Amino acid sequence: MKTRKLLMIPGPTPVARSIQDQMGRETVAFGDPAFVKDFKELIEDLKVMFRCSGEVFVLAGTGTMGMETAIANVTKRGDNVLIVSHGFFGDRFIDLCTRKGLNVDVLSSEWGEIVPVDKIREKLKEKHYAAMTVTHVDTSTGVCAPVAEIGEMMKEFPETIYIVDGVCATAGEVEYIDDMGIDILFTGSQKAFGVAPGLTMLWVSNKAMERRKSLGTIPEFYIDFEKWLPIMHDPAKYFGTPAVNLVWALKEAVRLIKEEGLENRYARHKKYARIMQSALEALGFKILAKEGHRAVTLSNLVYPEGTDDAKFRGLLAEEGIMVAGGLGAYAGKMFRLGHMGNIDKHDLVSVIATIERAAYRAGMNVELGKGVAIVQKGLVE
Ligand SMILES: *Cc1c(COP(=O)(O)O)cnc(C)c1O
C-alpha cells in the first residue's frame, strides 16, 4: 500500500477537507449575489479578526505579489526604503525595491539572529525613509521578528510606513494591525491560513491609504490599491476577475479560525512549536533560530555533523513526509519543517515518529521513541 504523504513544508500547508470542498464547488459569476455576499463577509471578517481599522484587500496572486503591492502603493522612484532582513525573504525586498528605483538601505542579521530594535531606531534617525520592511517570520531562518516592539518604536517615525511581511506568520504568529502600529501586513493563502496557493491578503492602515492617495497615479496597474478599493467595498463591481473558488476556500479557512478562536489558534501554534522543537533537539538536530526569536510556524533544523541531506529527506519522503531543504549557506546542512495552519495532534505524533524512522535509517544516532515520548508528554501536559 502506498504511504500517505504529509505536506510539512513551510507552504503550501495541509488543506483541510472542508476547504478543499470549496475549491471543488461549481464556479459562479463574480457578480452572483451569493458570491458577492460571501466575499463581502470575508473582507469584513478579516478586518475585525486582525483589528484593522483601515482597508483589507484580497487579490489573486502569491505572497511575492503582496511584497510588490505593499511597496508600489507607498513609495515613488527616488524614495529611501529601509529593509530589515533576517534571511532570504527579507533580502528579496532588496532586488524588488532596487528595480523600482528606490534607494535601499539594508540592516541584516546573522542567520538565526535578529537585528536589535535599537539598531533599527538609530538607522531611521539618519534620514527620512518613506517605508521600512520587516519580515515577521523569515522562512529561510525560522527567525521571528519582534514586530510589536518595532511597531512601538515606529511611533517615533510617523512619516515612515511600516510594512510587515506576514507570509509565513499571519494566522499563526500573534498579529493585530492597529495594536501593533503596522501600516501594511500581507500574507499568502497557502501558509498559516491553510488554503491552496493563489491569494494574497493585505491589511492596510488609513495612514498607508493616505500615502497611496498622495502619490497620484502610480506606474503599476493590477496591484494599485485605488483600482481595487471600490471592489473591496462592493465586490459586485469589477476591476479584475476575483479567484471565485479561492475566495470561498479562504472564507472557509476563516470560518475554521473563528470556530477555533484566533487567540486559541495562536496558543496552539506556540504550544505545538515548542513541543516539536524540544523533541527535535532531543533527537540531535540544532534549531537555527536563537532562543527567544524562534518562530511558531516552522522550525529550521541543522543536521548533526555528517548527515547526508539528500539521503535523509529522500528517506523522509519515502516514510511519508515532505519537508523543505535549507536555503543559501544552509543548503544541504539543514531541513525546514512547517508546523503551521490546520494541523492537529495526530500530525505532530506522526511527524515526529516519521522523522525518527528516517533519521534511524539515514544512520543517525537516534533512539527510536525518544522524540515521540517528548511530544506525547507535551500533549498531555
Ligand atoms: C513564502 C514566502 C514568501 C513568498 O510567497 P510566495 O507565495 O511564494 O510568492 C514571502 N515571504 C515569506 C516570509 C515567505 O515565507
CATH number at residue 26: 3.40.640.10
Last-in-domain residue among 197, 232, 259 = 259
3-state secondary structure of 319: helix
Q: What is the DSSP letter of 14?
A: P
Q: What is the DSSP letter of 276?
A: H
Asked whether residue 1 is domain-assigned, the answer is no
Average pLDDT over residues 344-371: 97
Q: For residue 122, how many other CB atoms are within 10 A of its CB?
A: 11
271 and 341 co-located in one domain: yes
Give the residue numbers spanning the domain of 138: 17-259
pLDDT of res. 2: 86
298 and 243 co-located in one domain: no
Evaluate if residue 126 carries a pLDDT over 90.
yes
Residues 57 and 171: their CA atoms lie apart, in Å, by 16
Among 69, 139, 339, which residue has the most ligand 1 atoms within 8 Å of its CB, making it the best to mutate? Answer: 139
Rounded (5°) CA angle 30-36-38: 120
Among 92, 167, 168, 173, which residue has the most ligand 1 atoms within 8 Å of its CB, making it the best to mutate? Answer: 167
Q: Indicate the pLDDT class of residue 71, thresholds 50, 70 and 90.
A: very high
Residue (of 202, 123, 206) closest to 170 by Cα position: 202
Evaluate if residue 1 carries a pLDDT over 90.
no
Asked whether residue 37 is domain-assigned, the answer is yes
Residues 267 and 177: their CA atoms lie apart, in Å, by 18
93 and 193 co-located in one domain: yes
pLDDT digits (tens, 9 = 90+) for 94-113: 999 999 999 999 999 999 99
Beta bridge partners of 59: 200
Average pLDDT over residues 205-229: 98
Ligand 1 atom with the smallest distance to the CA of 10 is 15
Residue (of 122, 124, 143) closest to 133 by Cα position: 124
Pairing state between β 55-60 and 103-108: unpaired
pLDDT of res. 216: 98
354 and 235 co-located in one domain: no
Q: For residue 129, how many other CB atoms are within 10 A of its CB?
A: 20
Task: Answer for the pair 22, 245: CB distance below 8 angstroms, yes or no.
Answer: yes
* Domains in the chain, number: 2
pLDDT of res. 261: 98
pTM to 2 decimal places: 0.98
Rounded (5°) CA angle 210-161-111: 155
Ligand 1 atom with the smallest distance to the CA of 190 is 7
Ligand 1 atom with the smallest distance to the CA of 135 is 13
46 and 190 co-located in one domain: yes
Residues 87 and 161: their CA atoms lie apart, in Å, by 21
Q: For residue 79, how many other CB atoms are within 10 A of its CB?
A: 19
**Residue 223: its H or E element:** none
Name the one residue in this structure whose C-alpha cell is 472542508. 18
247 and 292 co-located in one domain: no
Residues 360 and 347: their CA atoms lie apart, in Å, by 20
Evaluate if residue 331 carries a pLDDT over 90.
yes
Q: For residue 78, how many other CB atoms are within 10 A of its CB?
A: 10
Last-in-domain residue among 216, 241, 259 = 259
Q: Which amino acids bring their CB within 6 angstroms of ligand 1? A: 11, 62-64, 89, 135, 138-139, 165, 167-168, 188
Asked whether residue 155 is domain-assigned, the answer is yes
Asked whether residue 46 is domain-assigned, the answer is yes
Beta bridge partners of 287: 301
Q: Which amino acid makes up residue 57?
A: F
Asked whether residue 284 is domain-assigned, the answer is yes
CATH number at residue 358: 3.90.1150.10
**Residue 203: its H or E element:** strand 199-204
Q: Which protein residue's CA is at the shortest distance from atom 8 of ligand 1?
A: 63
61 and 207 co-located in one domain: yes
Start-to-end CA distance of the chain, whole Å, equals 35
Average pLDDT over residues 310-324: 97
Q: Do you find a cis peptide bond into 12, omega within 30 degrees of 0? A: yes
Q: Indicate the pLDDT class of residue 297, thresholds 50, 70 and 90.
A: very high
Task: Answer for the pair 339, 370: CB distance below 8 angstroms, yes or no.
Answer: no
269 and 370 co-located in one domain: yes
Average pLDDT over residues 133-145: 98
Evaluate if residue 358 carries a pLDDT over 90.
yes
Distance 203 CA to ligand 1 centre (A): 16
Beta bridge partners of 322: 7
pLDDT of res. 246: 98
Last-in-domain residue among 220, 238, 259 = 259
pLDDT of res. 70: 99
